[in-house]
Structure 1
């Protein structure tokens, strides 16, 4: 039995930053909006994130006296994109409206952002880059009283503490600070962003329905006019006068789609369970075009083989690879990459193909190899200074014994460690340029070989597997600059919008700074909401009820 749930102007599928921003923008002009969220909790991938969007030309830059210009932003982006973006229209729309979108969200919600004093673009030595200002983060705020019963429905991140990025460099006792804030209902990072957006949409009368999964789109002719959702085993028909906004995340939680589009067989999702390509499939059924399908926000991670959450592995995001006494080797025992490159670029390196051997040597059994000095500096899960070595870390007294324990050629691994030690002594990594890539010195004003390399020589020696993690896919339904979904020849699928990770990422396969998916997600949520609002003002747009077909 299908039960009718009435008519709204707009139905939004998904409750991350993109979906909530679209709902906020549409509701701000008086449109009736319903948000449906498949999970029991609100926030999607945004709630697990650092909540730090990359927003060039934002007002907080100016408040700190940081000069920026559109010409510099485009110079920086064009140098990274090299013409590989899915659409120039999307790049222009993001650059021209990102700051405007952020201003709107801050003016309509309790959200207050601030610029990190020393958080540069990820390629800070490239023309047009800025050494601070484009990445902004939510200021801490208490949301329990503000949201009331809704507070408990906002997803909490198992990956991020209740502190800010700025505080992470302050030397404060972050464990105690995070604990105190958790008890008081103070949220930071992605939790703060979601909480603020939720407060904004609730204030404007938006209906937010959790545990309600979108199943298929409803059409009348070539136009999308609603959707069928499922709640508690019952199908619900939800009519949308103006449009349906798909904002239900990527497909990193579906191994078959990851294998098909990313070509990775053993990836681990770093997002909440449920991002399995629902919106992508709904769009494809209607003949939508797609773009950027081989791209994802990747993050090398470690998994202890035991920890699970909601039926999927719960990995740890590791910065151990940045330690100067740590190298990464493939299944042949060979170094293959500068260990300190950005997390996004590391994902690309792990997919490299060797045409000489006709293989992917850096996929599968990739290990971080490090010594006692690196272990003493590492805090990762239950791998803590002075604590027993956990089961997911292999320990040995010699490099040769370590190689045998992890199934690698002893002579090869020993040779690689010796070669790296020589580079540390000479101050030059002639193989992969350790200490020369900007990201290695992100918080230190740039890299140096002396700071980024040291000898791996203090026993015992350790190894743990480095895995291919995906925070979110950024390939999906192709849209125009208003978030409207396109067909392969450029025609609109009327009434259908896609924003967030369900849509083709505006910035293609590059990731210019912290929050380079979250910034566009907020921006295109805002632009989609604006387009829906303008459609509502068109003559006769809301004059008659729509008769629904399937």
Structure 2
């Protein structure tokens, strides 16, 4: 954290995520400010050349496996060039955005996962390393974070800042599954991992909001935010307009009706079961006690004032974890557990500090490891190449 600050990164605070520890350092200006306003100018001052729209397509190795070069290719012209180098660092962000790898390496039904990343985690670095003899290690897990709206007409990350997304997918209110039944204490939203995994156990999940709770969140604020995009307790003054626009546009994730029975019909769910579930839930709200799942009475809010809204929830995912086994110097290990000389991996390509799992109560761990492992890889790669230059002379 201090090293980043020394490079010009500014922090606006440290916060928790839901019920987790306050370990997430929030940057002023977010990633744009960190990468392009602070780190990029520092790198360019040191003579670093940055290539965009360029792919690394091959790692070159000596007979003993040591790295000797990289072939790169221009996305614009398909022209290739070999860069001679004794060291290469892989930092390509995992494989969440590669459907084939997700199907082969994970157990998820990818039709239900909504990646909210930049779209560039296509597994390039992992494939290069595996082709070079690296050990495949720690794959199979995506970082789930809870309910998310699927809108094929928009980039998925766009909804991160939407009050409607936060109201539909991140509140400890009422969820019903494909049978019209409750299945969990909805306050799991206070832990992203719990929420994502709870949602994934069902074939379908719908979040049910009535006009009363929409008005309440507009006037008094939400129960739970969505990271730094929509703050916890924020007054949802844009919520009604966003909902109205989604209904008017016939978005596939939203359903509106003046009665519960009509809402159930629009969602193609059993009317009798939904009616029973909501009547039972409302009784728990009146009694101040959730006899099914023990939800905190603070979050027992009746579904009673029309119009009523149903939101189909898919499961949001930030990234994958792991793929390459590394040493504490971030050297990539081969299938026998020996370092591939000159090859390093950082961030979500490396099963390092975070392994194949994200600590749900320690927000910021993933980005913290990304910065640490990137710098650690760079330092050790520089030491190694310096030693090689001394030997060659």
Q: Specify the TM-score bucket, using the shorter chain as the normaliser.
A: 0.7 to 0.9
Task: Return the alpha-carbon distance in structure 2 between the equivalents of residues 406 and 264 of structure 1.
Answer: 24
Note the alpha carbon deviations across 1:59-97, whole angstroms, 9 max, x for none. xxxxxxxxxxxxxxxxxxxxxxxxxxxxxxxxxxxxxxx
Contact 2:117 2:157 in 1 (8 A): no
Task: Return the alpha-carbon distance in structure 2 between the equivalents of residues 416 and 197 of structure 1.
Answer: 53
Note the alpha carbon deviations across 1:209-248, whole angstroms, 9 max, x for none. 101011121111211222111112111111212x100001
Contact 1:250 1:472 in 2 (8 A): yes
Evaluate the alpha carbon distance shift between residue 121 and residue 270 of structure 1 in structure 2; reply closer, same or farther with a 3 A threshold: closer
Corresponding residue for 2:25?
136
Corresponding residue for 1:544?
392
Contact 1:248 1:278 in 2 (8 A): yes
Contact 2:174 2:207 in 1 (8 A): yes
Task: Return the alpha-carbon distance in structure 1 between the equivalents of residues 237 and 144 of structure 2.
Answer: 19
Task: Return the alpha-carbon distance in structure 2 between the equivalents of residues 216 and 291 of structure 1.
Answer: 21
Corresponding residue for 2:71?
228
Contact 1:484 1:492 in 2 (8 A): yes
Corresponding residue for 2:265?
404
* 1:137-536 matched pairs, under 5 angstroms: 137-139=26-28, 188-195=29-36, 196-221=38-63, 222-231=65-74, 232-241=77-86, 243-265=87-109, 266=111, 267-299=113-145, 300-308=147-155, 313=156, 316-317=159-160, 318-320=165-167, 321-323=169-171, 326-341=173-188, 342-352=191-201, 362-363=202-203, 365-376=204-215, 377=217, 384=241, 387=244, 389-390=247-248, 391-392=250-251, 393-435=254-296, 449-450=297-298, 452-504=299-351, 506-507=353-354, 508-509=356-357, 510-536=359-385
Structure 2: segments with no counterpart, 5+ residues: 219-235
Task: Return the alpha-carbon distance in structure 2 between the equivalents of residues 279 and 387 of structure 1.
Answer: 43
How far is 1:381 from its partner?
8.5
Q: How many aligned residue pairs are there?
A: 355
Contact 2:326 2:352 in 1 (8 A): no
Evaluate the alpha carbon distance shift between residue 229 and residue 536 of structure 1 in structure 2; reply closer, same or farther with a 3 A threshold: closer
Evaluate the alpha carbon distance shift between residue 373 and residue 304 of structure 1 in structure 2; reply closer, same or farther with a 3 A threshold: farther
Contact 1:302 1:315 in 2 (8 A): no
Q: What is the TM-score with the length of structure 2 in the denominator?
A: 0.82
Evaluate the alpha carbon distance shift between residue 454 and residue 122 of structure 1 in structure 2; reply closer, same or farther with a 3 A threshold: closer
Structure 1: segments with no counterpart, 5+ residues: 1-101, 125-129, 140-187, 353-361, 436-448, 546-550
For the aligned residue pairs, the C-alpha RMSD in angstroms reads 2.5
Task: Return the alpha-carbon distance in structure 2 between the equivalents of residues 248 and 385 of structure 1.
Answer: 35
SS in 2 for 1:466: strand
